[in-house]
Amino acid sequence: MAKFTYLVVIAPHLTAVSFVAMPSARKIYLKSYQKQFLEVPYIGDFDRVRVKENCLDILTKELSRKMPRGLIGLGAMSDSYNHYEKNLQVTRGTLALIERYGFGVSLETKRDLVTRDIDILKRISEKSSCILKLSITTSDDSLARKIEPFASLPSERFRAIRQLSDNGIFTGVLLTPVLPFITDSDENIKNIVRLAHEYGAKFIFSLFGVTLRDIQRDHFFEKLERYFPMLKQQYMMTYSDHYQCNIPDMARKRALFINECEKYGLLYQMDEIIAAYKQDQPEPEQLRLF
């Protein structure tokens, strides 16, 4: 008999969740917060979001009856710890439901507010798969203030990694995106890997570039002109209208990255990272929600 997983879609009117059988899905991806504009740039005002009303009531109903249990992904589409979360606590409520109904969690964020929920994350990790990914693009706080104005400073995110790791939560770094000519220096790559090790990360993963859709590109170039006026022309000459913008000298810098990871004993390949965070228990059916 084929094993079916589920594709779960929160309807645009925010009042229903639809489950569709999917044989190849790997995770649930849940957006408790939704960006007002899907085509958002990396540099600049990417923090315009709206809360999905009634999402906790919807999830309570759906997660309580869907079997078997799987892994729920948070933060891939919109940061679950945006500045509204401190007061609204939608993400905290979501994590509480994940724990209550026996699911695992995969969460990525750029904000140290995640440490507020260590109590719930720790309980999830004790009985299911749990992985935390702090996205860190630069080790330089002053540069981060320009390219990530709404995120916690890198120094704050590294301290969050230490707190999460000290509480037994499998935590690491997403070195993504890597912005060509801005955060792709050998020094920055080496610093992030070193700091990941020093603050207790178990892994670090990178794709060595940035993606730019049409609307993203326009806004991105606008911000380049404001903060890095010499780079706009360089981007246009190097990448034109390409969607995938890999960093120059990518092969050498990836080799440098791998060498640093191996020096510090950090996992850096996705299959090894996935194998490491899964507990030694019967593997659940994995679901996908977005």
Predicted confidence band at 54 (pLDDT cuts at 50, 70, 90)? confident
pLDDT value at position 278? 80
Does the pTM of the predicted model rise above 0.85?
no
Query: For residue 218, how many other CB atoms are within 10 A of its CB?
Result: 12
67 pLDDT tier (thresholds 50, 70, 90):
low
DSSP conformational letter for 78: S
Give me the pLDDT at residue 10, please. Answer: 34
Calculate ∠ Cα 7-110-155, nearest 5°.
Answer: 155
Cβ atoms of residues 27 and 6 within 8 Å: no
Query: What angle (nearest 5°) sits at the alpha carbon of residue 55, between those of residues 52 and 59?
Result: 150
> What one-letter code names the amino acid at 126?
E
The pair of structure tokens assigned to 259 is 């060498």
Give me the amino acid identity at 277.
Y
Entry field: residues in the chain: 290
Amino acid identity at 191? N
Express as a percent the part of the chain with pLDDT over 90: 57
Tens digits of residue pLDDT in 39-49 = 233 444 444 55
287 CB neighbour count, 10 Å cutoff:
27
